[in-house]
Amino acid sequence: MSGIWGVIGGTGLSQLEGLQLTGESRPQTPWGEPSAPLVHGELAGQPVCFLARHGHPHTIPPHRVNYRANLWALRDAGVSRIIAVNAVGGIHADLPTGRFCVPDQLIDYTWGRPSTFYEDGLDEVVHVDFAEPYDASLRAGLLRAATELGISCRDGGVYAATQGPRLETAAEIRRLERDGADLVGMTGMPEAALARELGLAYACLALVVNPAAGKSTEVITMAAIEAVVKDGMQQVRSLLRALVAP
């Protein structure tokens, strides 16, 4: 697949170090402004457009991110394939803190977020196919990059998208587990669905930054999460470079 790579950086990745900068843009969209200026550059010689999901600095909470403007702006910038980087809580025993996962499914528990482009002024109602929410070839590319680099990464898993910004209760996590979820985050939706509505290939690279609520006796603190994120994001950069390299 050709076209510009898009990277949406989550918690801990509000800048993509190593990106050879070629410019910045502040696009307007029919849905408002994206979370931050788009950063244009090259990674391993390939054009990449980076967007900080929570703004730069990190100030926009998950339920306030303008997902529609973000996806629209990336598409308008010529992006055709997107890697979404997400910090998540690990539910499955196979997903300890520090491990990566490239999920293959998701369940949406968010509410009240503008979650479609097909709303007003329609000629007809549109229902996009979303049975497989992530792009198979991007997923394969991420997993190949992880193998090449010797980075431990789980192939597949069900991402539960929760509303936040608070973390879950232990009972909520038990419910998600019964539903079949393996990892939990707050930003995977509606982002993935909006990418699909625009015809953009989209995959999620998730880094487990804490055991989900009730999965460990320790209290989840932002300080502990930040420490994991700092190390993990170095690996994210290597993974992205290996992925896009021709």
Q: Which residues bind ligand HPA (CB under 6 A)?
A: 87-89, 162, 167-168, 184-186, 209-210, 212
- The least distance separating ligand HPA from the CB of residue 150, rounded to whole angstroms, comes to 24
Q: CB count, 10 Å around CB of 11?
A: 23
Closest to ligand HPA by CB, 133 vs 185, is 185
Please identify, using beta-carbon distances, which residue of 168 and 197 lies nearer to ligand HPA: 168
Q: Is 11 annotated as a binding residue?
A: yes
Assess contact for 209 and 88: CB atoms under 8 A: yes
CA–CA separation, 37 and 24 (whole Å): 6
- Cα separation, 12 vs 10, in Å, equals 6
Q: How far is CA 40 from CA 37, 44, 79, 168, 219, in A?
A: 9, 13, 11, 36, 39
57 assigned ligand-binding residue: no
> In the bound complex, what is the minimum distance in angstroms from residue 90's beta carbon to ligand HPA?
8
Report the residue closest to ligand HPA, judged by CB: 89
- Is 211 marked within a binding site? yes
| Contact in structure between 38 and 77 (CB atoms under 8 Å) | yes
Residue number with CB closer to ligand HPA (210 or 235): 210
For 118, the token pair is 């097909």
CB 177, min distance to ligand HPA, A = 13
User: Is 212 annotated to bind ligand?
Assistant: yes
Numbered residues of the known binding site for substrate: 186, 210-212
Numbered residues of the known binding site for phosphate: 11, 53-54, 187
